[in-house]
Chain A
Amino acid sequence: LVAEIEKKITEAFEVFDRESNKTVDVREIGCIIRSLGCFPNEAEVQELLSKIEVEEPGGFVHLEQFLPVMREVLLERRFRPIPEDVILHAFEALDENKCGYITKEDLVKHLTEE
């Protein structure tokens, strides 16, 4: 099982590996984690990143650093998907006027106001 997980992580990583040299831009890490089926929020992504050594300059992450961290995440089944009813509830909480949608500005406002 572990071997299979590692293969999956490597595959996802390589999709974003532009130069085929086992490194990706640090800004893509969030995307990679999420496409492996996880639902971390921004804070959680940053926390993960702090555990992974980022190469300066340019901010690259090497597969070797990423693999063990991600492996633990998947084995421990962290950042599970958000159930539909919870998300629906979240939308309803922000949709004061009950119009069935929220605007991007609303969302940004709520995210940036402490």
Chain B
Amino acid sequence: AFKAAVLIQQWYRRHVARLEMRRRCTWRIFQSIEYSCEQDQIKLHNFFSYLMDQFTPSSSKERDFISRMFISGESYKEAELEKYCDYESIEVPDSYTGPHLSFPLLPDHATALLEAFQQKQQLHARYILNLLHETRKHLKQLPNISHVSTCYSEEVTVCGDLHGQLDDLFFIFYKNGLPSPSKSYVFNGDFVDRGKQSLEILVILFTFLLIYPKEVHLNRGNHEDHMVNLRYGFTKEVMQKYKVHGKKILRMFQNVFCWLPLATLIDQKVLIIHGGISDTTDLDMLEKIQRDKFISVLRLKKRKESSRKPEIQAINGKSESGTDAAGNEAAPRLSLQPQSAQAPSTANRLEFSRWLRQTVQEQIDTCRRLMDISESEPEELTYSSMVSLKDVDEPCWTRQEEWKQILDILWSDPMPQEGCRENKVRGGGCYFGPDVTEKFLEKYSLQFLIRSHECKQEGYEFCHNRKVLTIFSASNYYEIGSNRGAYVKLGPDLIPHFVQYQANKTAHMLTMTQRQGFPVALISRVEESAFRALREKLFAHTSALIRAFKSYDRDNTGKITLSNWATAVESVLRLGLPWRMLRPQLVRSTEDGMLEYKSWLDDLAMEQRSQEHIQSSLLEVIYRNRSNLETIFRIIDRDHSGLISFEEFQQTWKLFSSHMNIELTDDGINDLVRSIDFNKDGNIDFNEFLEAFRLVKQCP
């Protein structure tokens, strides 16, 4: 009987080990795809650089179009903001059944909002705008680093990323209690994007912030940034829910985001920031920076030194039109509305580049002039809204240094190795090692850091010898069942206590199966989703994969060994995944250990939604660059209507395909549009266009 028991144990352990391996591989897949999506930002950067430096426009229309991409958005003075985004003129109709807000806010308002959102009601635009105006007023008085003391309220609860997942916030309030004079909360950024209820979360958080200003603290996250919102869903959510006033609401959010504090300090001992630190993080500088200057932390690229000086001299002191270096008249108009400037008639690439930089610089200078500032130092080029500058005592450090401080705080990640290096994966911030943490904590006499920014399977994770705690509050972030969310409570002893959860009905169902037996159902579901995303990625790189496979198949047999398959796939996708472990799920049939790669790729293609009329290379490009295409469309679509003209669509395509080196004829574009039938009175609904190529709904 003992022998029998041992056998069973043997078999059982092997089963559990396999499940564990599958679970970890699935996690790896999601993480590597998520971070490679963030690399899209870098690709976008490259695209804009290409337009700036290498592309030769073939017509003045094309030039104008390109310049519009750089001079995006309207800049404004703060006073104008109040006028533009006013709410008093907005009437609330009698038919409105949602909650009503009046100021100053009271706890009853908060409860009403929670109930309303639970019933899927929507708050009227007037109240949202009102709330945003009040929130802004409040945030403006706050310092960059909030100070919390555990002696006033016994415990502080710290929550991490929520990413629009309202259910998780409801759960936290349900389990832990609502904010109150005896219940302090710190929300560590990334309230928005990806999830579908970012708006509701912000409304609730801001409401509690105003009702309990001493007890509720918000930190800015890297997603509290309108440039990121364009790509990751918040912009879309607002425009879909508020078709009439969405633009105003977005503009207000843009401003409110940059007034969010950057960090929170508990008892002078625990620092809470969204991303992390770098070896140059300086709390004194952070305290003194004017944080509202940094509307978006993302930026385009450094302007080349050589082209700066002469143009600035040419521009400064001229009020109306300037002349570019080639001596042609450029006639930008003096207004806050972006106008397409007259492009130079020469087709010279270098001159076009210079002209473009100059035009944008002019816009910046124009805005500065209107705001009564004299700025002699050349500014970094940002393709987001203009940095609004104020007339204050200039600190001794440069804006460049300030910008780096904020970028590091919002975007950095800890790494196990010592040192500090650039975070190339995300395209911003640093990877910081345990030595950096140690030095930093010592310098400021801190005990440990709390940060968020990275999804953790258990909702939280320690690293750097328990000196850095990552807390992540969005459960099931990648897929239902993928991970738990967590929040941490700190008392005066500053010892962390964690509460984990998975707020989702389906997940609860799945965990019940877990209690009865093996969590196979749970793992399978998440796994399925991960592999779908992975297969889509593979499809998106079909051409490159074929080339790689062929290099291993010199005799042109059409087959390669599985070992070579693994090497080839990694060399193309560069996701750092254990391909040999994943192979059974990706490659169904082999003949004597050899894979017929062409038919394997064909099978992959068939799984994607079939768009047979479109040339396959084009499909690939769309899949690979969907996220960037969406961002570009949104930049062009200035009034956030979701529609761009057919001509704009065409031009975008042309530019993009020229950058990606694809042949695309006019007919090709027409076919594209016609076959998917998105034409609405000469306008393209790019949301629908992109939806047709969106397979895995989670993939950003």
Contacts and interface: CB of A to CB of B under 8 A. Distances in A.
Contacts of B17: 30-35
Interface in A4-19: 4, 7-8, 11-12, 14-16, 18-19
Contacts of B4: 89-91, 93-94, 110
A15 B581 contact: yes
A42 B12 CA distance: 11
B2 A41 contact: no
A47 interface: no
Interface residues of A, number: 39
A16 B24 contact: yes
Interface in B1-20: 1-11, 13-14, 16-18, 20
B24 A15 contact: yes
A42 B563 CA distance: 31
B5 A11 contact: no
A81 to B, nearest CB: 8
Contacts of A4: 563
Given A4-B563, A20-B416, A15 B8 contact: no
B25 interface: yes
B416 A107 contact: no
B13 A111 contact: no
Nearest to A86: B7
Given A7-B563, A15-B581, A31 B20 contact: yes
Contacts of B9: 41-42, 107, 111
A34 B13 CA distance: 8
Contacts of B10: 39-42, 82
Contacts of B13: 30, 34, 42
Given A11-B581, A34-B13, A82-B11, A110 B21 contact: no
Contacts of A107: 5, 8-9
A8 B567 CA distance: 12
B578 interface: yes
B421 interface: no
Interface string B40-68: 00000000000000000000000000000
B547 to A, nearest CB: 22
B550 interface: no
A114 to B, nearest CB: 8
B14 A15 contact: no
A113 interface: yes
A75 B296 CA distance: 57
B301 interface: no
B147 interface: no
A50 interface: no
A42 to B, nearest CB: 7
B289 to A, nearest CB: 34
A37 to B, nearest CB: 9
A110 B578 contact: no
A100 B25 CA distance: 33
Nearest to A28: B20
Interface string B403-433: 0000000000000110000000000000000
Interface in B519-569: 563, 566
Given A15-B24, A16-B24, A21-B417, A34 B14 contact: yes
A78 B425 CA distance: 41
Contact of B2 (A32, A40, A102, A110): A110
A99 interface: no
Contacts of A14: 578
Nearest to B567: A7
Interface centre among A35, A39, A91 (most CB of B within 10 A): A35
Contacts of A87: 7-8, 11
Interface centre among A20, A33, A42, A90 (most CB of B within 10 A): A90
Contacts of A31: 16-17, 20-21
Contacts of B3: 90
A107 B9 CA distance: 8
Given A39-B10, A107-B9, A15 B21 contact: yes
A16 B21 CA distance: 8
Nearest to B576: A14
A97 B693 CA distance: 57
Nearest to A4: B563
B7 A110 contact: no
A3 B563 CA distance: 9
Contacts of A38: 14
Nearest to A19: B416
Given A39-B14, A87-B11, A111 B5 contact: yes
B579 interface: yes
Contacts of A16: 24
A6 B20 CA distance: 21
A11 to B, nearest CB: 4
A94 B8 CA distance: 10
A74 to B, nearest CB: 13
Given A11-B580, A87-B11, A90-B7, A110 B1 contact: yes
B333 interface: no
A3 B566 CA distance: 13
A101 to B, nearest CB: 11
A60 B563 CA distance: 29
Contacts of A30: 13, 17
B214 interface: no
Contacts of B18: 34-35
3 nearest A-B pairs in the assembled complex, by CB-CB distance:
A34-B17, A110-B5, A19-B416
25 contacts: A8-B580, A8-B581, A11-B578, A11-B581, A12-B21, A12-B581, A15-B28, A20-B417, A30-B17, A31-B17, A31-B21, A34-B18, A35-B17, A39-B14, A86-B7, A90-B4, A94-B8, A102-B8, A107-B5, A107-B8, A107-B9, A110-B1, A110-B2, A110-B4, A111-B5
Interface of B: 1-11, 13-14, 16-18, 20-21, 24-25, 28, 416-417, 563, 566, 578-581
